[in-house]
Structure 1
Amino acid sequence: MIPSRGTLARRCTGCVVAVIFLMAGFICGVPTLHAQMQKSTVAPSQTPSPSGTGAAAVKKPAQAPKLAPGEKVNINTASKEKLAALPRIGPAKAQAIIAGRPYSKPEDIMKVKGIKKGTYEKIKDLITVQ
């Protein structure tokens, strides 16, 4: 027996709706799945070796040394690493500070490109010129 036109239309409508929902789920789910896969995968060069040593061991990035409590940094003699340990001062600004030496007073550091009053206010109690 051949199905009537109404029955066939209902069946096709149901199939179309089902396909639309599947496609919408696929379209919405793929970016999310891709993002989750990127977060959970580890680059092959970062995979630790079974013994935890060797070339494949995970390496942490080098961090600037921290200042001891109450320690002051002499901006005329300090190393690039010591200057970079100051708040808001990275390697590039530390190099610019070194290039601008000598300084006669701590406020002179504001003559360095990228170091304005806000940065100076953060570091003024941590620097000296003596």
Structure 2
Amino acid sequence: MAGRSSRPSGKCLAHGAARAGTAGHPYRRVAVWAGSACSSAEFELQALPAQTATSVFPNPTRGPVTVRWTQADFSVHAVELINAVGRRVLQRSASLAEADELQLELELSGVRAGFYMIILHTSQGKVFKRLSVL
């Protein structure tokens, strides 16, 4: 339909979209568009579970791997790579710069092919992620 706006006009448009923030803090001024409907309801942003809020990629890998926790509500202090028999293959502390970036890259040169466990030591406990090295 030529000339029609995808957003409704009126009071809700003046409120704008949801504001970004942190988990656990209520929001009040929200406009939600669904077709021509509009709502200004209070809501609360919930934190993702630690397992869901972290990612490891590429997986499987032949080279370096990125560990990312951008959607997490915690900080990471250290990362360990454990092989299938429980030996620590790699240990790395997260620097302040990496903690601010919410990710770090693990160089896996010299690591044999196999299945590994990445353990993230966080402010809320340990998070375990699987990794396959080809």
Same fold (TM over 0.5): no
TM-score normalised by L of structure 1? 0.26
TM-score normalised by L of structure 2? 0.25
- Which structure has the highest helix share of the two? 1
- Which structure has the highest strand share of the two? 2
Larger CA Rg, structure 1 vs 2: 1
